[in-house]
Homo-oligomer: A and B are copies of this chain.
C-alpha cells in the first residue's frame, strides 16, 4: 500500500512489495494471487459483516432499512481501519482497471445482500432492488467519507445518504 502511494500502482511490482514486507516473491504469492489482491483482500470480511448486519436487523425493518443496518455494520469495521481506506481509495481512483475491479466487487456485495434479504423473507425482485439501492447509498457515503474533510462519521454519512435516497423517490 505504501509503495502504491509512493510510486503509483502501475510502477510497483510484486518484487517491490515483497521486498518492502520482508517476504520472498514465493511467499507473497502464497498470500495474494497478484498485486491487485493487496487492495482487495479485505473484501471477504467486509461482506460477511454486511450480510450478518442485514440478518440481525429488527424484523420489522423495511428491506432498505435492513440493508442500511448491514452498511452500518460495515462502517463499524471501517472505523477500525484508520487511514487505510482513504489511502486505498486514492490509489483506486487513479487507476481505471482498479475502479472496474471495485465496481465488480460492489456488484458481488449487492448479490450477497439480496440473498440476505431473501433469507429474511423478502421476495424478488424487491430483494435485489433494495440491495442495489442500498449499495448506491454506500457508494455515495463512502465516496464522501474518503474524499471529504478528515474525521467525518461514516455512519452519519450513510444515514444521510439513506434519507436522501428516500427523499428522491417521493414527489416533492
Binding site for B on A (CB under 8 A): 60-65, 100, 103-104, 107, 122, 125-126, 128-130, 132-133, 135-137, 139-140, 144, 161, 164-172
Contacts and interface: CB of A to CB of B under 8 A. Distances in A.
B125 A132 contact: no
Nearest to A125: B140
A165 B103 contact: no
A64 B103 contact: no
B128 A140 contact: yes
Given A125-B164, A126-B164, A169 B64 contact: yes
Nearest to A130: B168
B125 A129 contact: no
Contact of A104 (B61, B62, B100, B144): B100
A38 B60 CA distance: 48
Contacts of A135: 132
A104 B171 CA distance: 30
A161 B133 CA distance: 12
Contact of A103 (B107, B128, B129, B139): B107
A126 B171 contact: no
Contacts of A167: 126
